[in-house]
Amino acid sequence: MEYVIDVESVEAVAREHSDNKHIIRRDNLKMGLVSVRPHEHLPVHTHDHEEQLYYVLEGEGKIHMGDQEFALSPGKAVLIPPGIAHGVSNPNAVPLRYIDLFINWKR
């Protein structure tokens, strides 16, 4: 197991709407760096057993949680409880980058 990780050297995995770096992948803990491409959005979805936390590093956008919408900008953190429907949109011309942390309480 690595104790110090050079995130810049982690290869990004291209997804349909974003580029993701998987920094830590363990059974009960996942940490990644998500970069939502300009003018894209991550579809609304849920995680049944995982609590999720975002910490915004760069760019601006919105997160849709249930029937609410919240602005995202650098320095903002978002806690997403298990089972809450959520999706992210980036209506801007620059990427929206955030740390994405998952904790699985069921394991």
Total-model pTM: 0.92
Give me the amino acid identity at 76: K
Cβ distance 22 to 10 under 8 Å?
A: yes
In this prediction, residue 2 carries a pLDDT of: 80
Beta bridge partners of residue 64, listed in sequence order: 69, 87
Measured CA distances, 44 to 27, 30, 37, 64, 86 (Å)? 24, 20, 16, 8, 5
List the pLDDT tens digit at each of the 107 positions of the chain: 788 999 999 999 999 999 999 999 988 899 999 999 999 999 999 998 899 999 999 999 999 999 999 999 999 999 999 999 999 999 999 999 999 999 987 65
Q: Are the beta carbons of 102 and 52 closer than 8 angstroms?
A: yes
